[in-house]
Amino acid sequence: MKTKKVVVVTGASAGLGRAIVREFAKQGANIGLIARGLEGLEGAKREVEACGGRALICPLDVANADAVDKAADEIEATFGPIDVWVNNAMNSVFSPISEMKPEEYKRVTEVTYLGQVYGALAALKRMRPRNRGSIIFVGSALAYRGIPLQSAYCGSKHAIQGFYDSLRAELLHEKSGIHTCMVQLPAMNTTQFGFVRSKLPKKPKPMGTIYEPEVAARAIVYASESDHRELYVGWPTVEAIVGNKIAPSIGDWELARSGYKGQMTNEPEDPTRPDNLWEPLPGDHGAHGPFTSQSWSFSPQFWLSKNKAPITAFALALVAGVLWGK
């Protein structure tokens, strides 16, 4: 009889995915690790095993639907039925729209949007006959509010939000026992800022208040165990989403003013630096980026949401809308 939770994490080799793996590993879970970077996957596997769980490395590109489906078969053959599937893999390009290429939009969309769709399809194929399981979609404040210089990523996150709404309605229609949640995240100190393609003159950085990836990872584990439809993590996420619903034009003007400088450090970018758009970068890079000294390791807003403080959370949302409109 199976006694350990079986979890699948896409984008598991580095950044947020690596932090998610560590949080589930603390529970002793058996984890299917999906990503392209083999060295990072091997590092994640060692961390899972150090916590008493087992891990299966599945080196693949989530843009390949057949590969994702075959990995799900392999994971279930090794560990048993999948309990939780976390759709986390992403890719991006920092660039003005005028400098973007069609193939770059296609690639980011295939990984960041379709990768989550393919993961959901693989999970649903196996969870529907059992009428149980949890599928987590990793979203962003940018699923609601697009910002300059990240049009491909913002478009992909918006697409995930639309797919998620459709899926929720269909599962409710079916009276399904499968749980889903989309976790909307703020800017985080992850490896992506040194990984993704950038056409900016200076090195990219997270915009606004930055959080350590463990904050989001804990929220994702919580989402997999709770009955929430959607979770916002971090005050900036609430401000961006609620503010955009109330006064989107003001958001346009504010981001036109601050959105370029706010996404760049003062260090010149190396135009020859390798990126992971088409191939993974070698090495085991862990979970964190270079912004630890500027990052929060705790979210009071999420603590309020988790601990059932709906009135306070609603008040915060109203304040967010007011501040956005100033």
pLDDT of residue 45: 98
Q: How far is CA 124 from the centre of its chain?
A: 19
DSSP string, 160-211: HHHHHHHHHHHHHHTT---EEEEEE--EE--THHHHSEE-SSEEE---SSEE
**Residue 277: pLDDT above 60?**
yes
> CB within 8 A of 170, min separation 6: which ones?
none
Residue in 113, 144, 153, 222 annotated catalytic: 153
> Is beta strand 202-204 parallel, antiparallel or unpaired with respect to 264-268?
antiparallel
Write down the pLDDT at residue 301: 86
Please tell me the least confidently modeled range out of 16-25, 118-127, 256-265, 298-307.
298-307
User: For residues 90, 96, 99 and 105, what is the CA-based torsion angle, rounded to 10 degrees?
Assistant: 30
Average pLDDT over residues 57-71: 98
Provide the pLDDT for residue 2. 66
pLDDT tens-digit readout, 224-237 = 999 999 999 999 99
pLDDT given at position 299: 87
Q: What is the pTM of this model?
A: 0.93
Asked whether the beta carbons of 6 and 82 are under 8 A apart, the reply is: yes
Burial class (CB within 10 angstroms; exposed 0-12, middle 13-18, buried 19+) of 184: buried
- Maximum CA pair distance of the chain? 58
**pLDDT more than 90, % of the chain:** 90
Mean pLDDT of the chain: 94
Q: What tens digit of pLDDT does each residue of 23-36 get?
A: 999 999 999 999 99
CB–CB of 41/12 below 8 Å?
A: yes
Reported confidence tier of residue 298, pLDDT bands at 50, 70, 90: confident
pLDDT at 56 over 90: yes
pLDDT in tens, 300-315: 888 887 776 554 555 5
- Burial class from Cβ neighbours inside 10 Å (0-12, 13-18, 19+) for residue 313 reads middle
Taking the C-alpha atoms of residue 255 and residue 261, their distance in angstroms, rounded to an integer, is 10
Burial degree of 26 (CB within 10 A; 0-12, 13-18, 19+): middle
Res 302: pLDDT: 85
Q: Distances from the Cα of 64 to the Cαs of 48, 61, 68, 150, 162, in angstroms? A: 26, 6, 6, 23, 21
User: C-alpha distances in angstroms, 93 versus 18, 219, 290, 310, 318?
Assistant: 21, 26, 19, 37, 33
Q: What pLDDT, on a 0 to 100 scale, did the predictor assign at position 309?
A: 56
- Tokens for 171, please give them: 């599962």
Query: How do the domains of the chain map onto residue ranges?
Result: 6-268+301-324
**What is the percent of the chain with per-residue pLDDT over 70, rounded to a whole number?**
94
Over its C-alpha atoms, the chain yields an Rg (Å, rounded) of 19
Least confident range from 123-137, 186-200, 263-277, 309-323: namely 309-323
CB 40 within 8 A of CB 285: yes
How far is 136 from 220, CA to CA, in rounded Å? 7
CA dihedral (152, 301, 191, 116) positive or negative: negative
Q: Are 204 and 193 in contact (CB under 8 A)?
A: yes
What average pLDDT does the segment 112-123 reach? 98
Per the annotation, the verdict on 222 as an active-site residue is: no
140, pLDDT greater than 50:
yes
- H/E element, 86: strand 84-87
Q: Specify the CATH number of the domain 6-268+301-324.
A: 3.40.50.720
Per-residue model confidence as pLDDT tens digits over 175-229: 999 999 999 999 999 999 999 999 999 999 999 999 999 999 999 999 999 999 9
